[in-house]
Amino acid sequence: MSFDDHRAARIDGIRNSAGEVIGFVGVTGDELDMLFMEPPAQGKGYGTALLVFARDVLGAKRVDLNEGNHAAIRFYERQGARRVGRSERDGLGNPYPLLHYDL
């Protein structure tokens, strides 16, 4: 997503049995902009459920990952994401390499 793009991300969350939000996903167009899980909820399938929702219901087809975020890279690759490219700079032009994945 370009920062000149004025569309807003759709944000959906997931709650635990106590009703607390433990994670969320944000999608703009066909791009997965964000997926976050509270650390105690990680590794329990909630992140996978959010990713499946983002892909199958919201139509997310791609995601950009910070090259240094090895946990995220492992997560998405375990979910079948396929690396399709790399950029030396992030969306703001800063020197933070991004890896581009198709979901």
Give the residue among 68, 72, 74 at the shortest CA–CA distance from 98: 68
Residue 1 placed within a domain? no
Cβ neighbourhood burial of 72 (10 Å; 0-12, 13-18, 19+)? middle
pTM higher than the cut 0.75 = yes
Residue 68 placed within a domain? yes
Residue 28 placed within a domain? yes
Task: Show the domain range for 30.
Answer: 10-102
Q: Which amino acid is at 70?
A: H
Give the tens place of pLDDT for each residue, 69-79.
999 999 999 99
pLDDT band at 83 (very low <50, low <70, confident <90, very high): very high
The pLDDT of residue 5: 55
Q: What is the domain-level CATH number for residue 20?
A: 3.40.630.30
Total domains in the chain come to 1
